[in-house]
């Protein structure tokens, strides 16, 4: 009898505890909800509708829904209530959840009141959405909402983002590379599946220790190719506080590319080109470096391949101080950079990933490691993943679906059968740049800064000394002295006392066009536009789109036998 009574008492206590515990609400703050369509931020880029202090306020658009997202880990009953208020009588909300819709009158009150929505039997675990719409609205403000309150057994261990930051977690692929490799080029390709390109997405192809390069969706009408390089030093917000010797310097940029500085996420040099890239298209990215150990700097240059015209475009070239190192810490990522629509699903495929070393050899990157940012590490958002599909790496975030990858998971792919083919000579801006450079050369001639004998196929030349031998032929090997300088007089290369020997066919087009006007024993000056020299390549002193001036003395001609 005593045992039975004891059992009943224990059971009763457990029942009361379980019931009370079940009735203790899980409160989901309204500032974690989303407006659909997304809200417009104010001039300070702050939310007009959501704040930690006030929850949801200034909700006036009757076509706009408010959505709460959470993950249920236990089946059972779930009771929904809501803390809300309005200063106007007669407003009614429609609340949809788990295939049920409840009509909820908004209480006339200056203070938030708890209003019951209804209960639902949860039969499956996973992510759920509560959608709140304006059913009847008799005032400009539909309702102010403080929180969504959940009761019942199904609320146990429920997950939701507790922070006001509503971005999806940024996800990364890290490409492990041995430190012994002196990497001078990083090549990668991106394709975005249809429907995965929500506004405020950044799909980054070529990330490295000092910067990043990829494509963005900036608005419903604007998309960009973006390339940025960080300053030296530790300033994280205000670039005006960065010392001059720590600042990245813009060396060159492509036609219609915007370039400026940036702050608030570190500081540095920023460039972007407005380009209407499309889903289900493959885009190619290339980052190259030129290292100047004397100044302890590295110049990073970003090139983007335009598939519609099958040409590369220079985005920008930045000189990074206090560096002097090759490419390192290579990675890619998918980022949601504004939280107003962090509920959307984003995905990108990365493939045909290669690096080139200082000796010119290409190596495929077939291993990557998965990681995520502080939002993922804190457990605020748990909807992310990555892997390999169709021999491509992929990353995704958002959408409030179950994760399929864990931190430090490794993914592998097979190497592509062909190495990248990169031809920077017939680039997207070559015709425009050619016109600009020709005008610059003619202006210099007009101002007596340059003197010429004639021109041929874009190359201007001046016979400095008539030779006595035969004219140079394109098939000849030539022994020469030469001095090469930029249009501003800066010498980038020269022979001094030692003759150098070249097969003419292996030299830049400008030499092949100009030198046949010179005889053996003669001297000639060649003024060569970039399209016939090194085009948009960055070679250190010779920056992209550089006009070159060569003084060449032809000592000997060796005819092909």
296 pLDDT higher than 70: yes
**74-103 residue pLDDT tens:** 999 999 999 999 888 888 999 999 999 999
Q: Kindly write down the DSSP assignment for every residue of 495-537, as one continuous string.
A: -SSS-EEEEGGGS-HHHHHHGGGSBTT-EEEEEE-GGGTTTT-
249 pLDDT higher than 70: yes
Prediction pTM value = 0.90
Residue 19 — very low, low, confident or very high, per pLDDT cuts 50/70/90?
very low
46 pLDDT higher than 90: no
C-alpha to C-alpha distance for 448 and 442, rounded to whole angstroms: 10
**359-368 residue pLDDT tens:** 889 999 999 9
Residue 218 — very low, low, confident or very high, per pLDDT cuts 50/70/90?
very high
- CB-side neighbour CA atoms (13 Å) of 425: 10
Predicted local confidence at residue 13, as pLDDT: 33
- What SS3 class is residue 54? coil
Predicted local confidence at residue 306, as pLDDT: 97
Residue 516 — very low, low, confident or very high, per pLDDT cuts 50/70/90?
very high
Closest by Cα among 374, 332, 338 to 352: 332
For the segment 152-168, the average pLDDT, to the nearest whole number, is 95
Q: How far is CA 158 from CA 27, 74, 126, 128, 162, in A?
A: 11, 8, 10, 10, 12
Beta bridge pairs of residue 548: 486, 528
Residue 23 — very low, low, confident or very high, per pLDDT cuts 50/70/90?
low
Q: Among the listed ranges 276-280, 388-392, 461-465, 467-471, which one has the minimum average pLDDT value?
A: 467-471
430 pLDDT higher than 50: yes
428 pLDDT higher than 80: yes
Q: How far is CA 301 from CA 13, 219, 268, 316, 555, in A?
A: 71, 26, 14, 6, 37
2 pLDDT higher than 50: no
Closest by Cα among 101, 90, 105 to 137: 90
Predicted local confidence at residue 14, as pLDDT: 36
Give phi and psi for 137, each to the nearest 5: -135, 125
**322-362 residue pLDDT tens:** 999 999 999 999 999 998 999 999 999 999 999 999 988 99
In order of their start, the domains of the chain are 2-155 (2.60.120.260), 171-412 (2.60.120), 430-558 (3.10.50.40)
- Residues whose CB is less than 8 angstroms from the CB of residue 517 and which lie 6 or more positions away in sequence, other chains included: 453, 454, 456, 461, 463, 471, 524
Closest by Cα among 152, 207, 191 to 23: 152
What sign does the CA torsion over 286, 290, 296, 297 have? negative
For the segment 292-301, the average pLDDT, to the nearest whole number, is 95
The chain-wide mean pLDDT, for the chain, equals 92
Predicted local confidence at residue 24, as pLDDT: 86
Predicted local confidence at residue 561, as pLDDT: 66
Contact assessment for residue 492 and residue 550, using Cβ atoms and an 8 Å cutoff: no
Predicted local confidence at residue 4, as pLDDT: 46
Closest by Cα among 107, 113, 62 to 83: 113
Closest by Cα among 509, 535, 529 to 441: 529
Q: Position of tokens 């600042």?
A: 247
Q: Which two tokens stand for residue 101?
A: 């819709």
**132-144 residue pLDDT tens:** 999 877 778 899 9
For the segment 508-527, the average pLDDT, to the nearest whole number, is 96
**404-425 residue pLDDT tens:** 999 999 999 988 878 999 999 8
- CB-side neighbour CA atoms (13 Å) of 404: 12
Contact assessment for residue 147 and residue 55, using Cβ atoms and an 8 Å cutoff: yes
Contact assessment for residue 548 and residue 437, using Cβ atoms and an 8 Å cutoff: no
Contact assessment for residue 508 and residue 532, using Cβ atoms and an 8 Å cutoff: yes
Q: How far is CA 502 from CA 259, 413, 529, in A?
A: 39, 42, 21
- Residues whose CB is less than 8 angstroms from the CB of residue 132 and which lie 6 or more positions away in sequence, other chains included: 65, 66, 67, 68, 82, 93, 94, 95, 96, 145
- What SS3 class is residue 474? coil
Give phi and psi for 403, each to the nearest 5: -65, 150
- CB-side neighbour CA atoms (13 Å) of 377: 7
Residue 176 burial (CB count, 10 A): 11
Residue 53 burial (CB count, 10 A): 6
């Amino acid at each position: 009898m005593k045992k039975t009574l004891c059992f009943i008492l224990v059971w009763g206590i457990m029942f009361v505890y379980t019931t009370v515990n079940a009735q203790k609400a899980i409160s989901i703050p309204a500032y974690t909800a989303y407006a659909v369509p997304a809200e417009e931020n104010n001039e300070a880029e702050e939310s007009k509708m959501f704040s930690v202090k006030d929850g949801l306020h200034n909700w006036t658009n009757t076509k706009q829904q408010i959505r709460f997202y959470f993950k249920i880990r236990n089946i059972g009953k779930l009771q929904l209530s809501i803390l809300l208020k309005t200063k106007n009588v007669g407003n009614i909300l429609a609340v949809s959840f788990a295939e049920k819709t409840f009509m909820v009158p908004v209480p006339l009150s200056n203070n938030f009141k708890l209003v019951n929505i209804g209960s639902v039997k949860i039969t499956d675990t996973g992510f759920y959405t509560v959608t709140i719409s304006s059913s009847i609205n008799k005032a400009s403000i539909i309702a102010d909402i403080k929180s969504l309150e959940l009761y019942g057994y199904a609320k146990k261990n429920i997950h939701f983002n507790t922070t006001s930051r509503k971005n999806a977690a940024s996800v990364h692929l890290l490409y492990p590379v041995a430190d012994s490799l002196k990497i001078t080029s990083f090549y990668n390709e991106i394709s975005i599946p249809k429907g995965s390109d929500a506004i405020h997405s950044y799909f980054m192809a070529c990330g490295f220790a000092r910067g990043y390069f990829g494509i963005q969706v900036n608005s419903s009408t604007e998309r960009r190719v973006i390339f940025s390089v960080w300053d030296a030093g530790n300033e994280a917000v205000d670039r005006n506080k960065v010392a001059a010797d720590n600042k990245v310097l813009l060396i060159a940029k492509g036609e219609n590319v915007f370039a400026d500085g940036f702050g608030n996420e570190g500081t540095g040099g920023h460039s972007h080109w407005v380009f209407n890239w499309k889903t289900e298209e493959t885009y190619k990215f290339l980052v190259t470096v030129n290292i100047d150990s004397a100044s302890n700097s590295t110049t990073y240059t970003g090139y983007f391949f335009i598939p519609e015209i099958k040409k590369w475009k220079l985005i920008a070239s930045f000189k990074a101080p206090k560096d002097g190192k090759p490419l390192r810490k290579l990675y890619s990522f998918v980022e949601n950079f504004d939280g107003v629509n962090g509920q959307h699903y984003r995905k990108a495929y990365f493939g045909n990933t290669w690096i080139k070393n200082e000796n010119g050899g290409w190596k495929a990157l077939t291993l990557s490691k998965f990681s995520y940012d502080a939002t993922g590490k804190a457990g605020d958002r748990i909807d992310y993943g990555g892997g390999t599909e169709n021999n491509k790496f992929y990353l995704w975030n958002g959408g409030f679906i179950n994760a399929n990858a864990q931190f430090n998971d490794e993914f592998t792919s097979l190497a592509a059968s062909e190495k990248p083919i990169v031809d920077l000579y017939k680039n997207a801006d070559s015709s425009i740049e050619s016109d600009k450079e020709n005008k610059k050369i003619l202006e210099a001639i007009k101002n007596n800064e340059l003197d010429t004998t004639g021109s041929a196929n874009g190359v201007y030349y001046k016979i400095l000394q008539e030779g006595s031998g035969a004219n140079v032929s394109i098939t000849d090997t030539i022994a020469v002295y030469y001095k090469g300088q930029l249009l501003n007089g800066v010498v980038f290369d020269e022979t001094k006392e030692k003759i150098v020997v070249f097969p003419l066919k292996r030299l830049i087009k400008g030499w092949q066009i100009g030198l046949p006007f010179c005889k053996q024993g003669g001297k000639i000056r060649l003024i060569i536009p970039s399209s016939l020299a090194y085009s948009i390549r960055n070679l250190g002193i010779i920056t992209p789109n550089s006009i070159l001036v060569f003084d060449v003395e032809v000592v000997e001609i060796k005819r092909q036998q």
